[in-house]
Structures are given as C-alpha cells and as structure tokens.
Copies of this chain bind each other. A is one copy, B any other.
Amino acid sequence: MALPELPVTSFALLGLLSFGDEELTGYELKQRADITMRFYWVAPAMSQVYSELKRLHEHRLVRVTGSGRATRYRLSARGRRVLHEWSATPAGFPVWKHPVALRLMIGHASDQETLRGMLTAYLEELVTSRADLQEVRTMLSAADAPGETYHFPGLVADWGLAHFDSEREITEKTLRRLQEDDA
C-alpha cells in the first residue's frame, strides 16, 4: 500500500478526523483546526478545507455520509491505515517564521522606541495566545490520561504552553537588554 503523495495539511486534517468515530462537516473540521491545530501547524482557509476533503475522498481516505444538506466525513479504514503509515514518516525540522525576530535583526534600520513598542505588543499577543491554548488544555483534561482519547493532544498542548512561556521569557530578556543599551 503506497503512501499517497499529499501535502502535510491533508494528513493533518485526516488526523483531526481520527479522534473517536465522529463524522464531521467541513465547517466543523475547520473549527477544530482553528482551535487546536493552529498552534503548531496552520489554520487552513475554509476553501482549502473543502478542497482537501475532496481530495481525501478521491483517494478514498474518508467516507462521505451525505445525510441532508451537510456533507459529513469520516475516516475510512484505508484512511486509518494510511495515517498510521504516514505517522512513521520522517518528520522534518520545524519551520519558524518569526516576523518580530526578523525586524529585530535589522534593528539598526529602526529606533529604540519602535523596537520596544514591537516587543511589548508581542508580549501582549503572547499572553492572549497562551490563554487561548490554556483554555484548550483545560478542555482536554477531561480525557487526557494515558490511553484516553485526548492524551496525545494534551501532551502537545503542554508543549505549546511551554513554548509560549519560553517566548515570553526571551522577549522580556531582550527588552531588558535593549533598555540597558540605552544607558
């Protein structure tokens, strides 16, 4: 059984369909992605969710249960096998696109005022993002014991929380270093 060549986001969406035996609409799938997956992958556009679902169906990785106007999708047996196979695939190194760090790098083209404002704004966004993720983490804690449905999502959420904490620390430290430079 050859692993179909699909973009990672396809497998990510397939993965979201692999919790429990739920049947989801494209709309619901998009919501799940927005809530959880966006923290360490992406939040795909609505239109992409539909086109990926179409493709997953063409590859018979999902089954369609057209009950009424809302098309519902569920993982097929083949989809489950493919997902298992894919998860053993080399993961590759994370890609980090950090517009704050990028601007800081060319700090000589800016000024202290602007840079400090940027870092402060970033700190605030970190706080709200962390709070959002913490909320998710709390919801998952209903079934996050080893073997339960949301055990692994719980691990990943903790990973994300630790990451946000680390970012906060580094940003604060950098702010302090900028202030020292002023003197």
Q: Which residues of A are at the interface with B, using a C-beta cutoff of 8 A?
A: 8, 12, 15, 18-19, 36-37, 39-42, 80, 83-84, 87-88, 90-110, 114, 118, 121-122, 125, 129, 146-147, 149, 151-153, 155-156, 158-160, 162-163, 166-167, 169-170, 173-174, 177-178, 181
Contact = CB atoms under 8 A, between A and B. Distances in A.
Number of copies: 2
Contact of A159 (B8, B159, B163, B174): B174
A118 B93 CA distance: 11
A40 B99 CA distance: 8
A19 B108 CA distance: 9
Contact of A94 (B93, B100, B110, B155): B100
Contacts of A108: 18-19, 149, 151-152
B15 A102 contact: yes
